Chain A
């Protein structure tokens, strides 16, 4: 089975712009979670989508949003980018039960200048 894929792998934007990141889960997985990883804050949960519905949300401002499509692919969007949004954005997929393992993609490295 193919693993979790994320596109693009690297992105450079300037302050004030917006960005959309994409995640394709493992085939058959219905849950997609997004995380932000920074050296100072570690791994922070952004949100989780399950069957096209947001099931959980972390403590991030409304500039961070996401969605999930009927094929379970997910996108996250960040509007009005700030320097502090520079991070590695990771998505993870699972079957969706709380005993299930989350499998991570390689991440998208976002740099905001």
Chain B
């Protein structure tokens, strides 16, 4: 079975400060990890993914994520938050032996001016 946890329902950060949205996962094989963002009344937009290779993955809009195998984590980061980053963020995992994608509950990111 595969699962993913996003321990924070909401993250608050001031504009210009660094942000981190946490994600931990559980799989039996190798993990394929994804981050998506959802704006109100919209579908999910792909930000970045980790399949293999370099543990630091760079994605869209200045976001990056670090894969940590020992801690089974894939936290999303950005050096300097923008108000426009305020949205709902989803982490997702797929076990290498499966094709189904499992999503976390989502973390609401609120960036204050």
Contacts and interface: CB of A to CB of B under 8 A. Distances in A.
Nearest to A58: B100
Nearest to A50: B99
B46 A33 contact: no
Contact of B44 (A48, A55, A90): A90
Label chain A's interface by main secondary structure: strand
Nearest to B44: A104
Interface residues of B, number: 23
A102 interface: yes
A56 B105 contact: no
B99 A101 contact: no
Contact of B46 (A103, A105, A109): A103
B98 A98 contact: yes
Interface residues of A, number: 25
A103 to B, nearest CB: 6
A42 B105 contact: yes
A113 interface: no
Contacts of B103: 35, 42-43
B6 to A, nearest CB: 10
A32 interface: no
A57 B99 CA distance: 11
Contacts of A90: 43-44
Contact of A45 (B42, B45, B100): B100
A42 B36 CA distance: 14
B46 A99 contact: no
B10 to A, nearest CB: 14
A4 interface: yes
Interface string B95-113: 0101111111110000000
A107 B102 contact: no
A48 B102 CA distance: 13
